[in-house]
Amino acid sequence: MNSQEKSRRLRELIQAEETLVMPDAFDPVSARIIERLGFQAVQCSGFSMAVAAVLPAEVDLGMQANLNMSRAIARTVRVPVMADGEDGFGGPEVIGNKIRTYVEAGLAGINLEDQVLGQPGPKRVVPREVMVEKLMTARKAAGQSNNADLVINGRTDALAVASDRQAGLKEAAERANAYLAAGADLAFVTAVATMEEVRLLVREIQGSVSVAAGMPYNFRTMSVKALKDAGVARVSLPAVAILSTVCAMTDVWQSIRDTEDFTEILGKNQVCGMEDIAALLKRA
């Protein structure tokens, strides 16, 4: 499939009755594993890319490194890939050019968020009208590009920055609806911590809802199955891959350091054979 066909496929998956579970990759090998395990789409994770590069924040990664890795991931798998476009790496005046760059890189979709990045002070979001303008410009740019079907995921951090949860949920739902009206194909609300909050958002948002799971703040309060049952259109897993990779590698190297042997890690099946690597390198 070309990128436009992949965008159409991604839109079909989001709009389907079955919830789309979209694990997040931080490099080509993590994306290939996701594909080989049967997941139907891959989400790029700017957070995980930054961690893998030993950078303290996504903004430190920068657009070019983000774009290069996103392009490499998209070339590695046959399934649709959604880029993590952060805040669009600028205001409404530059967003069109950024969208065209990601389209040319072969991405089927892109996340665009309303969080203010790279500035000192407490976490905050841009005015609602600024984000609406960004999304309208992004939609127009996609329509003028080689992939008019590019899937745009409008993300709001309104709940994450709120001092009051109820007010934050109300603001997040209102922003989500405004983003959908501005041209986003789905609305992604971050920092959702309970199933009660999930159900409220699904009820109040007039379109496809995306929720991040497997996060430190909701590991114990929600499951993928519960999110499916609640009617969430898309479940992303932004941190699971990088967190499990760091933990697994730490365990393996610590065991070798302490025992000077491989018995322990072999007993835990923590080492793949060459046949596993060969299967991974072979395209699905």
Q: What's the CATH code of the domain at 133?
A: 3.20.20.60
Non-local CB neighbours of 281 within 8 Å, separated by 6+ positions: 32
Total of domains in the chain: 1
- CA 229-16-231 angle, 5° bins: 20
3-state secondary structure 22-47: EEEECCHHHHHHHHHCCCCCEEECHH
Inside any domain, residue 258: no
Inside any domain, residue 132: yes
Inside any domain, residue 276: no
Inside any domain, residue 53: yes
Round to whole Å and give the CA distance between 206 and 196: 18
Which pLDDT does position 162 carry in this prediction? Answer: 97
Amino acid at 162: A
Q: Alpha carbon of 109 to those of 30, 127, 139, 163, 221: distances in Å?
A: 18, 24, 11, 31, 29
Inside any domain, residue 139: yes
Q: Where are the beta strands (DSSP E) in the chain?
A: 20-25, 42-44, 81-84, 109-113, 151-156, 186-189, 209-212, 234-237
Residue 120 near residue 152 (C-beta atoms within 8 A): no
Nearest to 226 by CA among 261, 256, 202: 202
Which pLDDT does position 118 carry in this prediction? Answer: 80
Inside any domain, residue 281: no
Angular region, 260: left φ>0, alpha ψ -120 to 50, beta rest: left
Question: Strand pairing partners for 115?
Answer: 125
Inside any domain, residue 254: no
Phi, psi of 159, rounded to the nearest 5 degrees: -70, -40
Inside any domain, residue 198: yes
Which pLDDT does position 52 carry in this prediction? Answer: 95
- Domain extent at residue 203: 3-238
Residue 43 near residue 236 (C-beta atoms within 8 A): yes
Which pLDDT does position 260 carry in this prediction? Answer: 95
pTM over the 0.85 mark = yes
Q: In the chain, what are the helix, strand and coil shares in percent, each to the nearest 5?
A: 50, 15, 35
| Alpha helices (runs of H) in 182-273, residue ranges in sequence order | 195-204, 224-229, 240-259, 263-267
Per run of 10 residues, the mean pLDDT along the chain (length 284 residues) is 95 97 97 97 96 92 97 98 96 95 98 90 94 98 95 98 97 98 98 98 98 95 98 96 94 94 86 81 73
